[in-house]
Amino acid sequence: DQQVKQNSPSLSVQEGRISILNCDYTNSMFDYFLWYKKYPAEGPTFLISISSIKDKNEDGRFTVFLNKSAKHLSLHIVPSQPGDSAVYFCAVSNFGNEKLTFGTGTRLTIIP
Amino acid sequence: DAMVIQNPRYQVTQFGKPVTLSCSQTLNHNVMYWYQQKSSQAPKLLFHYYDKDFNNEADTPDNFQSRRPNTSFCFLDIRSPGLGDAAMYLCATSRDFKGGILAKNIQYFGAGTRLSVL
Q: What is the pLDDT of residue A10?
A: 97
Residue B43's region, left for phi above 0, alpha for psi from -120 to 50, else beta, is beta
User: Does B24 reach chain A within 8 Å, measured CB to CB?
Assistant: no
CA-based nearest residue in chain B for residue A97? B105
Q: Are A43 and B4 a contacting pair at CB < 8 A?
A: yes
Residues of B in contact with A104 (CB under 8 A): 40-42
Residue numbers in chain B where pLDDT is lower than 50: 100-102
Q: What is the pLDDT of residue B96?
A: 74
- Within 8 A by CB and 6+ apart from A91, the residues are A4, A33, A34, A35, A36, A100, A101, A102, A103
In sequence order, the β-bridge partners of residue A21 are A75
Strand order in the sheet with B19-25: B4-7, B19-25, B73-78, B64-67
The minimal CB distance from B42 to the residues A45, A46, A104 is found for A104
- How far does Cα B96 stand from its chain's mean position? 17
Q: What is the pLDDT of residue B45?
A: 95
Q: What is the pLDDT of residue B117?
A: 96
Q: What is the pLDDT of residue A104?
A: 95
* Alpha carbon distance B25, B34 (integer Å): 13
Q: What is the pLDDT of residue B101?
A: 45
Q: What is the pLDDT of residues B55-66, one digit of tens each?
A: 999 999 999 999
- How far does Cα A32 stand from its chain's mean position? 12
Residue numbers in chain A where pLDDT is lower than 50: none
